[in-house]
């Protein structure tokens, strides 16, 4: 019996730091404003990373954004942000990021961005929001 093995995807972090504003429904990725792992906390600042993923067309990657503990308007602790994304091209570029809304003081600290496939970390980047 012949086994079908998909090659392990290759992931490269293209850029990270502060980006121009971004609309998740837009096909265009945000533009890098500052390449940095330290981002100043200001209202509506967009931050994160762009990765290029190869050998993963048709597969689903998972992402996690771990952030400092903060609460929503009902005083409920916000869990890490998670999701799934289908890779539609080879290669594919993917933006994983967030923006700060008020109050942003409590959102200062270390943010960890992870991209996974089958529970294996393909890329990880820490950014400090200060």
Distance CA 100, CA 30 (A): 16
The top-level CATH class assigned to 10-129 is mainly beta
Q: Would you write out the chain's pLDDT as a tens digit for each of its 130 residues?
A: 555 577 789 999 999 999 998 777 778 999 999 999 999 999 889 999 999 999 999 999 999 999 999 999 999 999 999 999 999 999 999 999 999 988 888 999 999 999 999 999 999 999 999 9
On whether the CB atoms of residues 89 and 57 are closer than 8 A, the answer is yes
Residue extents of the structural domains in the chain: 10-129
Q: What is the 3-state secondary structure (H, E, C) of the chain?
A: CCCCCCCCCEEEEEEEEEECCCCCCCCCCCCEEEECCEECCCCCCEEEEEEEEECCCCCEEEEEEECCCCECCCCCECCCEEEEEECCCCCEEEEEEEECCCCCHHHCEEEEEEEEECCEEEEEEEEEEC
Find out whether the peptide bond into 91 is cis, omega within 30 degrees of 0: yes
Distance CA 109, CA 59 (A): 32
* Residue 57, C-beta contacts closer than 8 angstroms, at least 6 positions apart: 87, 88, 89, 90, 92
């Amino acid at each position: 019996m012949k086994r079908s093995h998909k090659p392990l995807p290759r992931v490269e972090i293209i850029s990270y730091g502060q980006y121009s504003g971004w609309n998740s429904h837009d096909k265009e990725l945000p533009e890098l404003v500052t390449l940095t792992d330290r981002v100043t906390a200001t209202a509506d600042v967009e931050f994160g990373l762009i990765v290029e993923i190869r050998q993963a067309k048709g597969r689903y990657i998972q992402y996690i954004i771990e952030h400092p503990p903060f609460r929503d308007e009902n005083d409920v602790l916000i869990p890490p942000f998670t999701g799934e994304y289908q890779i539609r091209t080879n290669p594919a570029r993917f933006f994983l990021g967030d923006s700060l809304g008020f109050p942003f003081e409590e959102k200062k600290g270390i943010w960890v961005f992870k991209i996974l496939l089958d529970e294996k970390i393909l890329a990880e980047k820490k950014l400090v929001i200060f």
